[in-house]
Amino acid sequence: MKRYEELAEAIAKSIRDEVIKPGEKLPSVRETSKKRGVSASTVFEAYYLLEARGLITTRPRSGYYVNSSAKKLRPLAEQKTENLSKQQEVDVSELVFEVLEATRARSSVPFGSAFPSPVLFPMAKLAKTMSYTVQKMDPWRTVEDLGPGDNELRRQIALRYRIDGVDIPTEEIVITNGALEGLNLCLAAVTRPGDTILIESPTFYAALQAIERYGLKTVEVPSHPDTGVDLDIMEQTIQRYRPKACWIMTNFQNPIGSLMPDANKKRLVEMITKYQIPLIEDDVYGELYFDEKRPTPTKTYDEEGLILHCSSFSKSLAPGYRIGWVAAGKFAKQVERLKLSTSITTSVPAQQTIANYLSKGGYDRHLRQLRHLLVLQQLRYLKAVEQYFPEETRISRPHGGYFFWIELPKSVDALKLHRTALDNGISIAPGPIFSAQRSYKNFIRLNYGHEWDEQVDDALAILGKLVKT
C-alpha cells in the first residue's frame, strides 16, 4: 500500500472513532507532514483521496475540514433478554431462498448481497496463476489428490495460522468447497438428527438452513453489537438444554458485525471445555479487520481439540473459486471422511491455483488494499445513511467486514421494505432471515463492500425515503 493511502486510512479511522470530530479542521499539511514524518506531497495526496471519497472538504484559504453529517445516528443497543430462548425446530429456508433469489440480479444495487464487489479482488492475477498452474499440472494429481486436499495449499494455510499464533498441524486441515461446505460437514460430524444446537441471534441464515436440513433443533443466545454472544446467557442455556454443539462467529459476526474480545474468547473456550461441547467457529471475515492485527480465532485457546475452525478465501481473495477449509481438532478424521463421501474433493486446479498464489507472496499486500478500501467505504456509506435515514435509526459500527446491521423505526416491516426496494432496483437483506424465530422485523443488513458512486448514493437516498414512508 502506498504511504498516502496508509495516511488516508489512519485519518479515516480517526474520523470514524471521532478522535477528529465532524466539522473539525484537520491539521495543516505542514503539521501533519512533520508529525507523521512524511513529505508534504504525501499528505496532499492523502487529503485529496479523502476529499474524493467525500469524507473531508477543502475551504479556500482556510484548510481541510471533516464533513459533518446532517445528523448522527445512535449505535445499536444491547439486547436485554431475561428469558432463555425456547428450544425449537427451524423453518426459514423458503424465506431465505426467496430473498436470495431476488437479490442476485446484477441490475439491482446489491446492498443485500453477502459478497463485496468482485472487482476488489485480484482476478487478473489469479487468472494468470491459474493458466500457468493448469498448464504445468501433472495429470495424475487429479486422481491422487483425493481426500483432505492439496498438500501445498494445506501447508500454506497452516503457515498462515502459525503467523497468527495458532499452531495447527497441516494434517488437521481439510480443504472444502468454500467455508459453507466445511461448516455443513462439521455440523454433520458432531450431531445426529433431533439434537439441539446452540446458535447466536441474529445469525447467518445459512446456519439456520443447515440446521433445518439436518433435522436439528436450536436454542438461540443473543449476540451483542460490540462483544458478540452473551456468555452469561450462553452458560444458562447450556445448563438448561445441554446442546450437542455450538455454531458461533467470533470475528465480525454476520450480520451484527461484533468482535468478541480476547477475554470473552478465553471464557467461551473454558465454557465449552467444561461442558465438553464442540464449537463450530465460523471465521470467514477474520482477515477483514480494520484495527492493528488479525483478531484471534478461539481456536488459539483450544487445548482439547473441541473447536472446528472454518474459513475460506471467498471473502478475502478469490470469490467463485470456492476454496475453504476446516481445522477440526479431534474431529478432523470424521470431517475428512465426510468430505470424501460427500464431494470426494475440491476442484484440483482451483486448489493448486490458490496454493501457487499464496506461495508467491502478494496475498498480504492485496489484503491491506482491500481493508483500506473497506475502511473508507464504511465511513462514506455511514455518512449517507446518517443523511438519508430517519433519526430513530440505529446502526452498528463494525471494526471489520463489510456489513452494517441497521435497526429501523419500529413501524418499518423489513420484509415489505425488501419487496418495495426491489421494485426500485435495490436489494437489502431483511432482518427475519437471520433468526429461527423470524425476529428482527424492523432490521436490515446493508452491504458496504461495493465501490461508492452516484448510483449507490441515489439508491441510499431512495432507501431512506422508503423507510420514512
Ligand X SMILES: Cc1ncc(COP(=O)(O)O)c(C=O)c1O
Between residues 183 and 414, which has the closer beta carbon with respect to ligand X?
183
Query: What are the φ/ψ torsions at residue 278 (nearest 5 degrees)?
Result: -60, 145
- Is 40 strand, coil or helix? helix
Peptide bond into 122 cis (omega under 30): no
8 lines the binding site for ligand X (CB under 6 A): no
- Please give the residue whose beta carbon sits closest to ligand X in the complex: 178
284 lines the binding site for ligand X (CB under 6 A): yes
Contact stretch for ligand X (CB under 6 A) within 14-22, 132-140, 154-162, 177-185: 177-185
- Sequence-distant (6+) residues with CB within 8 A of 201 are 85, 220, 221, 222, 223, 434, 435, 436, 437, 439
Between residues 40 and 105, which has the closer beta carbon with respect to ligand X?
105
312 lines the binding site for ligand X (CB under 6 A): yes
Q: Which of 179, 231, 379, 406 binds ligand X (CB under 6 A)?
A: 179
| One character per residue 97-136, x = contact with ligand X (rule: CB under 6 A) | -----------------x----------------------
- Minimal distance, residue 324 CB to ligand X, in Å: 4
> Strand 173-177 and strand 323-327: pairing?
antiparallel
Torsion of CA 95, 321, 181, 366, to 10 degrees: -90
Q: Which of 110, 112, 222, 324 binds ligand X (CB under 6 A)?
A: 324
Contact stretch for ligand X (CB under 6 A) within 144-152, 173-181, 261-269, 384-392: 173-181
- Sequence-distant (6+) residues with CB within 8 A of 232 are none
Contact stretch for ligand X (CB under 6 A) within 145-153, 176-184, 335-343, 382-390: 176-184
Pairwise CA distance, residues 124 & 134, whole Å: 15
- Minimal distance, residue 115 CB to ligand X, in Å: 7
Between residues 149 and 464, which has the closer beta carbon with respect to ligand X?
149
Question: Closest by alpha carbon to 419, among 173, 103, 107, 195?
Answer: 103
Pairwise CA distance, residues 318 & 123, whole Å: 7
- Minimal distance, residue 144 CB to ligand X, in Å: 25
282 lines the binding site for ligand X (CB under 6 A): yes
Return the amino acid letter for 291: D
Site size toward ligand X (CB under 6 A) is 12
CA 48 vs. chain centroid, Å, equals 29
DSSP state of 289: B
Between residues 284 and 467, which has the closer beta carbon with respect to ligand X?
284
Q: Are 416 and 398 contacting, i.e. CB atoms less than 8 angstroms apart?
A: no
Contact stretch for ligand X (CB under 6 A) within 178-186, 256-264, 336-344, 436-444: 178-186
Contact stretch for ligand X (CB under 6 A) within 172-180, 194-202, 355-363, 405-413: 172-180
Residues 332-351 contacting ligand X, CB under 6 A: none
Pairwise CA distance, residues 357 & 318, whole Å: 10
Q: Are 208 and 219 contacting, i.e. CB atoms less than 8 angstroms apart?
A: no
Between residues 106 and 410, which has the closer beta carbon with respect to ligand X?
106
Pairwise CA distance, residues 352 & 445, whole Å: 35
CA 394 vs. chain centroid, Å, equals 20
- Is 337 strand, coil or helix? helix
314 lines the binding site for ligand X (CB under 6 A): yes
412 lines the binding site for ligand X (CB under 6 A): no
Q: How many beta carbons lie within 10 A of that of residue 48, not counting itself?
A: 15
Residues 210-269 contacting ligand X, CB under 6 A: 249, 254
DSSP alpha helix (H) spans, 226-314: 231-241, 262-275
Q: How many beta carbons lie within 10 A of that of residue 165, not counting itself?
A: 11
297 lines the binding site for ligand X (CB under 6 A): no
- Minimal distance, residue 356 CB to ligand X, in Å: 20
- Is 138 strand, coil or helix? coil
Contact stretch for ligand X (CB under 6 A) within 174-182, 344-352, 379-387, 388-396: 174-182
- Minimal distance, residue 85 CB to ligand X, in Å: 20
Between residues 314 and 396, which has the closer beta carbon with respect to ligand X?
314
- Minimal distance, residue 278 CB to ligand X, in Å: 17
The site for ligand X (CB under 6 A) is made up of 114, 178-180, 204, 249, 254, 282, 284, 312, 314, 324
